[in-house]
Structure 1
Amino acid sequence: MSVFRSRPALRWLVPAAAAVAVIGGGAAAGTIVASADPSLPERSAAQLLVDVQNAKVDGFSGTVVQTADLGLPSLPGVTSGAGSADIMKLVAGSNTARVWYAGEDKARVALMGTLGETDVIRNGSDVWMWRSADSSATHYKIPADKADKKPAALPTGVPSTPQEAADAALAAIDPTTAVTTTGAAKVAGRDAYELVLTPRDTASLIGQVRLAIDAEKHVPLGVDVYAKNANDPAVRVAFQQITFKVPDAEQFAFNPPEGTKVTEPSAADLAKEHDKAITPEQAKEAEKQAAADGTKVVGTGWTSVLVAKMPAAGDDKAGAKTGADQAAGQLDAIVGALPKISGSWGSGRLLTSALFSALITDDGRILVGAVAPEKLYEAAGK
């Protein structure tokens, strides 16, 4: 029997991705020394940053738990309907996943939602994605010239482990944040140091981002995102259990269950999937296109505000509603339930949470940032 069927896991999609994505600032590491437990050697913030960047393990397996409480209001289409339970768990609930890793070419993430289980596995040049909800599987065969690239187990921008969540936070480091340490911690029964990223700009809704770093292996064991003045994290992604042992080969073997519809993408499709990473030149071109479309960032660091146009609905040639049109309809229902506001910048609707605010203007713009609404109004008037 497939290990996917014998050992199902609960779904884990990481709302911390959104929280970390709005972190526009980081810190100069400085020379602050960790007040570590007497059993642990002292490590400065700068040393811990280097430890994380240079960490390398041959293999591990464990259970990752994600919890969130963003304080969002009840919204139509989100709090009811198919799949709503999974969506709500991302903003006010708990999710769990099992992960296995035995090198860049042997990795597995097991996910489960209300409507079924999804498994992603790489075993050498073979990559499988299996969905129990519709009894479907997609099998990718990685070309030899792409074998050194790591396939994405989750949608772009969504961390699938605390390591990826930590990488996203650390990549944003610059002088707008203070980086300190709080000493020793315990995560998944292991000794860890705690690295704290704090925005210097008090206008940010994010109070701190805390990274628990394994004292021996130097890999992140957990990431906590705190709202300003909060005692409990709004988002947490952490190992509940972890073993630094190379998993058995059987964990990466997959045979489609009977009745599964298997799709084999073409080599061209696979090449596109693995060529998603863009060059600096392509990034500049994308920025130019985004600017032409009205997308821009107002401000810098932790209090930067993203300004973009709301997505437009579309119809296919037969005049039927497309997926984009249906999604736009759902979005309209959500926006219509938000409180109306107005000011010198215009009028629109406002969504607030513990970690971010979003302003949808009547002239078709959306502004999002880890800031209080006043910052959005200011950006909307520019």
Structure 2
Amino acid sequence: MSIVTSRPALRWAVPVAVLLAVVGGGAAARTLTASADPSLPARTAAQLLADLQTARLDGVSGTVVQQADLGLPPLPGLGQGSSDLQSLVSGSHTMRVWYAGPDKARLALLGTLGETDVIRDGRDVWTWDSQQNTATHSVLPAADPSAQKPPVSPDGLPKTPQEAANAALAAIDPSTEVRTSGSARVAGRPAYELTLTPRDTTSLVGRVSLAIDAERRVPLRVQVYPAGSDSTAIEVRFTQVSFARPDPAQFRFAPPPGARVREQAAARTDRPAPAELPEPTVVGKGWTSVVMAKLPAQSPSSSDGTGFSVDRLPAVSGAWGSGHLVTSKLFSVLITDDGRVLAGAVRPERLYEAAATH
């Protein structure tokens, strides 16, 4: 069962985007942390986990500020202030979010010169780039629209505290120490703090801290710390939040005059499904597990369509073969020349070991 299905309170953000947000320092951060931590009735870690499982949301809207400091090299044109969804892999970004049910959701990434919106209204999904004055429209299949998600960026980073909490809570098992860690005030609201710490000290993740709204029992902030560091690598926080159901007008979109509109054909349900890629293999358990999958049928060194080539990544080799490596503060990714990709919150040596034995 997916973490989203088993924890309904975390489900609202998923229709907006797949896959961390916080005030990126400065006066706003000082304002948010200036007030004293609230005094709240005591709750155990088990009670807080139960709260997350049983909380319900009819609607929510607010401002989310996301910061990622993964130690990755800067990407051309995707720095701070960009409205490109792929820019979320680094720097600080501000987003507005709205949710009124599984088929009504919207996310707007605000940039210096424009914004990018992903909007779902029933079966209609729009992606709008104001800087390029372009819109993409698709209609979800009628068979099961609630199971579908709109197009999202490939970065895989969560864009709301709920999405970040999904990933963290999915890792809870005997390999994780769960404890309460006091209280906090986030977006002006009192919150309990819950800390998840990997018991396996070889993981690149040191700990994950969740701030859970004391009244609504939903995450307001998620912070991810690398092993051995007191500075966050990923942080997602509401800076303003309302739990009132948003106006339906927020989910209606019409391209402005002169905009370029591309209609994206929906997959027909009366056609045989194409052959699927094999399911990824998971090597190991807990925080040091490695996910291994086969790449699509093209050369691993080819361009991804944006002008980026895997060949530009550092080359590595060993008894397992040869390939290219991506490293960051929280994860490592190995792309082998024989068409495999291995990833995990582990050091490269763990990926080499998995590549050699599987």
Do structure 1's residue 307 and structure 2's residue 292 form an aligned pair? yes
- The corresponding residue for 1:96 is 94
Equivalent in the alignment of 1:259: 258
After superposition, the C-alpha distances for 1:8-41 in whole angstroms (9 at most, x for unaligned) are xxxx988759xxxxxxxxxxxxxxxxxxx77312
Work out which structure has the larger RCO, using CA pairs closer than 8 Å and 6 or more positions apart in sequence.
1
2:310 is the alignment partner of 1:332: yes
Q: Which SS does the other structure have where 2:253 is aligned?
A: coil
Q: 1:108 corresponds to which residue? A: 106
Measure the CA separation in 2 of the matches of 1:381 and 1:264: 44
- Kept in 1: contact 2:120–2:150 (CA 8 A): no
Aligned residue type for 1:229:
G
In the alignment, which residue of structure 2 is the partner of 1:70? Answer: 70
CA gap 1:259/1:83 in 2 versus in 1, 3 angstroms: same
Which residue is equivalent to 2:330? 355
Contact 1:15 1:235 in 2 (8 A): no
Q: Distance in 1 between matches of 2:90 and 2:167?
A: 22
5 Å-filtered alignment, 1:238-277, equals: 238-264=237-263, 269=267
Check conservation: 1:178, 1:197, Cα contact below 8 A. Answer: yes
TM-score (norm 1): 0.71
1:191 aligns with: 190
Distance (Å, rounded) in 1 between the aligned partners of 2:121 and 2:97: 14
Would you say the 8 A contact 2:137–2:262 is kept in 1?
yes
Secondary structure of the structure 2 residue equivalent to 1:218: coil
| Equivalent position of 1:32 in the other structure | none
Let me know the Cα RMSD of the aligned residues: 3.6
Q: C-alpha separation between the residues in 2 aligned to 1:14 and 1:146?
A: 18
Structure showing the higher helix proportion among its residues: 1
Larger Rg: 1
Report what 1:163 is aligned to. Answer: 162
Corresponding residue of 2:30: none
| Pairs within 5 Å for 1:113-192 | 113=111, 116-124=114-122, 126-140=124-138, 146=144, 148-149=146-147, 151-152=149-150, 154-155=152-153, 159-192=158-191
**CA distances 1:82-123 after superposition (whole Å, capped 9, x unpaired):** 546658853431011001223334322112457853222234
Unmatched segments (≥5 aa) in structure 1 = 1-11, 18-36, 277-284, 315-323
In structure 1, the partner of 2:278 is: 290
Measured in 1, the distance between the counterparts of 2:325 and 2:139 equals: 46
Unmatched runs of 5 consecutive residues or more in structure 2: 1-15, 22-36
Separation in 1, partners of 2:146, 2:320: 50
Task: Say if 1:224 and 1:254 are closer, same or farther in 2 by CA, change over 3 A.
Answer: same
Q: Name the TM-score, length of structure 2 as normaliser.
A: 0.75
Name the % identity. Answer: 56
> In the superposition, relative to structure 1, how do residues 147 and 333 fare at CA in structure 2: closer, same or farther (>3 Å)?
closer
Specify whether residues 124 and 366 from structure 1 end up closer, same or farther in structure 2 by C-alpha distance, changes over 3 A only.
Answer: closer
Equivalent position amino acid for 1:304 in 2: S
Q: Distance in 1 between matches of 2:285 and 2:295?
A: 22
Give SS of 2:244's match.
coil
Superposed displacement of residue 236, structure 1: 0.6
| Partner Cα separation in structure 2 for residue 271 and residue 362 of structure 1 | 36
Answer yes or no: is the 8 Å Cα contact 2:188–2:240 preserved in 1.
Answer: yes
Any idea what SS the aligned residue of 2:304 has? helix
What residue in structure 1 maps to residue 12 of structure 2? Answer: none
* 2:75 aligned to which of 75, 79, 82: 79
Match of 1:52, SS state, is: helix
Does the Cα contact within 8 Å between 2:210 and 2:219 map onto a contact in 1? Answer: yes
Deviates more, 1:125-134 or 1:350-359: 125-134
Report the Cα offset of residue 229 of structure 1: 1.2
